Amino acid sequence: MVGSAILRLLKKNKEIKIIVKDRYELDLTNQKKVQNFFKNEKPDQVYMAAAKVGGVYANTMYPAEFIYQNTMMSANIINSSFLNNVKKILFLGSSCIYPKVAQQPLVEEELLNGKLEPTNEFYAISKILGIKICQSFNRQYGESHNIDYRCIMPANLYGPNDNYDLKNCHVIPALIRKFHEAKIKKEKQVIIWGTGKPKREFLHVDDLAKACIYIMNLDKDKYIHLSKPNFFLNVGTGSDLTIKQLTFKIKKTVGFEGEIIFDKKQPDGITRKLLNVRRIQKAGWKHKIKLENGLKKTYNDFKKKVKLSF
């Protein structure tokens, strides 16, 4: 989802040569294959959009895959980039890097100030490692090798080309699929995990793509000044809503007319996760796509590209 959004935007610049490999062409957890790729292709810049992601269920069931695959991808790509003279990297993290109990909205200084949310701690740790790998390379080789490895932490993302597998997807694609299937099958109710009380912030992936390119092209001194002390920037909308509110918005978007049942026996995840976006807004970027419009676009994409037989 993220990679395709960045790609759509980069393709608008005809002067850029874009090198793309999907997971079937290049296993990013394989150090030798990644090293050979960078040795042969010699890119100037790298956008690190690849990741193993999922919702509460996937993070709970597959912690080993989440921490291993994401850690290996980050380490292999950053190290191979350095060895092959890549000067600029943009590493995409996640807002789950922040402690479970932290100041809201979440400021960048909160990193490593407390315990992580247990339902996604292994994914979060892998993303923190990615930030620290970028930071360590900048500290050791920034001046001597003129490298500039940047990091951004997006809010919860949604949009075209999302994953709609109910065992592995995030909340918006899960709700879209559930309500759509219930509508088609004329079911009377839809069951939603948790109480609906937690609050979440959602950023359309097209807005994120614009933020990625904007930050990658930002003046180096300005980026360094704004991203201290942890040298990354939050990317989000600066506003959130409850899962219950989101559920009713998606119900309306899809056109489901039945009842919603919240299964309170299922986990909620972290209570709130709202990003403080003051720094990136000071850098000159702000999101454009409102949630209601973004949900309509996402549902239309779902209807075009996804069949009910998963």
pLDDT in tens, 30-43: 999 999 999 999 99
- Residue from 123, 158, 223, 299 carrying the catalytic annotation: 123
68 is catalytic: no
Domain boundaries, the chain: 2-305
Task: Quote the pLDDT of residue 306.
Answer: 66
pLDDT band at residue 119 using 50, 70 and 90 as cut-offs: confident
What mean pLDDT, rounded, does the chain reach? 94
Does pLDDT of 69 surpass 70?
yes
The pLDDT score that the predictor gives to residue 22 is 84
Contact indicator for 173, 245 with CB cutoff of 8 Å: no
Classify burial at 280, counting beta carbons within 10 Å of its beta carbon; exposed 0-12, middle 13-18, buried 19 or more: buried
Residue 47 CA to its chain's centroid (Å): 13
Taking the C-alpha atoms of residue 125 and residue 140, their distance in angstroms, rounded to an integer, is: 22
| CATH architecture for segment(s) 2-305 | 3-Layer(aba) Sandwich (3.40)
3-state secondary structure of 62: coil
Say whether pLDDT at 1 is over 70: yes
- Give me the pLDDT at residue 141, please: 97
Q: Over 80: is that where the pLDDT of 193 sits? A: yes
Residue type for position 209? A
What is the model's pLDDT at position 166?
A: 79
Residue 167 has pLDDT above 80, yes or no: no
Report in angstroms the alpha-carbon separations of 137 from 85, 130, 132: 12, 11, 9
Average pLDDT of the segment spanning 98-125: 93
Mean pLDDT to the nearest integer, 176-184: 95
* pLDDT on residue 215: 98
Sheet containing 199-200, strands listed edge to edge, beginning at the edge strand earlier in sequence: 241-242, 199-200, 272-273
**Residues 244-298 pLDDT 10s:** 999 999 999 999 999 999 999 988 878 888 999 999 999 999 999 999 999 999 9
pLDDT of residue 307: 63
Place 310 in a pLDDT band, splitting at 50, 70 and 90.
very low
